[in-house]
Amino acid sequence: MDEKEMKFGTKAIHAGVHPDPATGAIMTPIYQTSTYVQEGVGNHKGFEYSRTKNPTRDTLERSIAALENGKFGACFGSGLAAIDCVLKMLEPGDEVISTNDLYGGTYRLFKTIFEKYGIKFHFVGMADAANIEDHVNANTKLIWVETPTNPMMNIIDISACAAIAKKHKLKLAVDNTFATPYLQTPLDLGADIVMHSATKYLGGHSDVVMGALVCKDESIAKEIYRIQNSSGAVCGPMDAFLVLRGIKTLHLRIQRHCENGREVAEFLRTHPKVDKVYWPGFKDHPNHEVARKQMKDFGGMISFSLVGNKLSDAHEVVRKLKVFSLAESLGGVESLCGHPVTMTHASIPKEEREKAGIVDSLIRLSVGIEDYSDLIQDLKQALN
Ligand SMILES: *Cc1c(COP(=O)(O)O)cnc(C)c1O
């Protein structure tokens, strides 16, 4: 069956994956090898050296590319290494317009690494995509979008960003870590590059750190592969195997994350100690209509603040939670909670943080795939 005709669940299990040509093994083997014997000079089976190409990674790259409705995939040692690759396509003097409430590590990479090499960043609230155009000038090369945003769950209209990128001949890259290709496929909405921290939902089991890029355009793909091979920030075959295994249940997991997310978000909203709840599935979320248009469902990521907005209260709640473990990261089968101000977003200056709405009492939940009644029970006891 042609991969393009497959529905998502079939693609998750089959796309890009073929029985091992040597043995018929149905699961792609972990090709734990650095090099490949050549029959004669230049006469090889498509693999020369594992930084350049490795069969396990190659299968994963094809699988992720198919899920994103792209043509080319590239996997890296982490999500940040994938972003690093995109930024290395730029030259000194180039400018980037980026989402303002950005994953903390991305912000740090932009500010402390790439600014040093002469790239300039503008951090812009993109809930209204028209704000982007205020910052476009002759040096602008890239728009960097994260949606839903982390941790404020703002929704950015990818099609609107793509129209602006097209008009000014800019590239549009979308960090699709939170939504996953099950919920949203940015390439179909006009993005040039999709990026993933596969550490999160794609892997899905909190056992691997990995990043990925997907694109459709061959000239962009050539650049990505050139940088991937030249900088060398590739993932190992064991990690590629783990993510390939994770992807086989991606659709089932995300369905459950979404169901549980809805239950938890609605519970929090009625709790007297909770001030605001940020989740794009609420009808009165400011960009709910955009979320409905570009996403299949609303995901399992939720942030909320507490009445009184005290840092010590937030610390108390995360300390008392038992089913939700206090930890960085997200997207695994188990529920996690985090306190952005002291954890993931500590590297963002307070003024930048508060401009984006990341207040002292804000708690972020990655709702897992446990039974939601247990998750709600846990939140109840921690809040009371
Ligand atoms: C975790 C994360 C990253 C960074 O990925 P790593 O795999 O940790 O390097 C980037 N963007 C988002 C939205 C993330 O959640």
Per the model's pLDDT, the better-predicted residue between 5 and 180 turns out to be 180
Q: What mean pLDDT do residues 149-169 have?
A: 96
Of the listed 57, 84, 88, 103, which one is catalytic? 103
Q: pLDDT per residue over 366-377, tens digit each?
A: 999 999 999 999
Question: Strand 120-124 to strand 171-175: parallel, antiparallel, or no bridges (unpaired)?
Answer: unpaired
pLDDT band of 95, cuts 50, 70, 90: very high
Q: pLDDT per residue over 306-352, tens digit each?
A: 999 999 999 999 999 999 999 999 999 999 999 999 998 887 788 87
Q: Domain check: are 169 and 201 in the same one?
A: yes
Q: Domain check: are 324 and 304 in the same one?
A: yes
Residue 84 falls in the annotated catalytic set: no
Domain membership flag for residue 154: yes
Q: Domain check: are 293 and 343 in the same one?
A: yes
Q: Domain check: are 369 and 353 in the same one?
A: yes
Task: Provide the pLDDT for residue 243.
Answer: 98
* Closest residue to atom 5 of ligand 1, CA basis: 79
Residue 364 falls in the annotated catalytic set: no
Q: What mean pLDDT do residues 76-103 have?
A: 96
- 380 Cβ neighbours under 8 A, 6+ residues apart: 271
The binding-site residues of ligand 1, defined as CB within 6 angstroms of any ligand atom, are: 78-80, 103, 105-106, 146, 150, 175, 177-178, 197, 199-200, 209, 211
Q: Domain check: are 258 and 146 in the same one?
A: no
Q: What is the mean pLDDT of the chain?
A: 96
Residue 144 scores a pLDDT above 80: yes
| CATH number of 345's domain | 3.90.1150.10
Q: pLDDT per residue over 227-240, tens digit each?
A: 999 999 999 999 99
pLDDT band of 39, cuts 50, 70, 90: very high
Specify the number of domains making up the chain. 2
Which atom number of ligand 1 is nearest to the Cα of residue 80? Answer: 9
Domain membership flag for residue 208: yes
Q: pLDDT per residue over 224-280, tens digit each?
A: 999 999 999 999 999 999 999 999 999 999 999 999 999 999 999 999 999 999 999
**Domain-ending residue, one of 189, 213, 247:** 247
Residue 355 scores a pLDDT above 80: no
**Domain-ending residue, one of 210, 231, 247:** 247
Residue 42 scores a pLDDT above 90: no
Domain membership flag for residue 201: yes
Domain membership flag for residue 2: no
Q: Domain check: are 11 and 30 in the same one?
A: yes
Residue 101 scores a pLDDT above 90: no
Q: Domain check: are 239 and 255 in the same one?
A: no
**Domain-ending residue, one of 191, 214, 247:** 247
* Cα–Cα distance measured from residue 280 to residue 149, given in angstroms and rounded to the nearest whole number: 10
* Cα–Cα distance measured from residue 235 to residue 245, given in angstroms and rounded to the nearest whole number: 15
Q: Domain check: are 238 and 304 in the same one?
A: no
User: How many other C-beta atoms lie within 10 A of the C-beta of residue 289?
Assistant: 12
Q: Domain check: are 363 and 243 in the same one?
A: no
Q: Domain check: are 186 and 290 in the same one?
A: no
- Check if the beta carbon of residue 60 is closer than 8 Å to that of residue 15: no
| CATH number of 178's domain | 3.40.640.10
Domain membership flag for residue 311: yes
Q: Domain check: are 296 and 236 in the same one?
A: no
Which neighbouring-strand residues pair with 144? 98, 173
Q: pLDDT per residue over 280-293, tens digit each?
A: 999 999 999 999 99
Task: Provide the pLDDT for residue 356.
Answer: 76
pTM, entire model:
0.96
* Closest residue to atom 9 of ligand 1, CA basis: 79
Domain membership flag for residue 1: no
Q: Domain check: are 196 and 50 in the same one?
A: yes
| Domain assignment of residue 272, given as a range | 250-383
Of the listed 51, 53, 269, 296, which one is catalytic? 51
Q: Which of 107, 108, 177 is the best mutation target for the ligand 1 pocket, counting ligand atoms within 8 Å of the beta carbon and taking the most?
A: 177
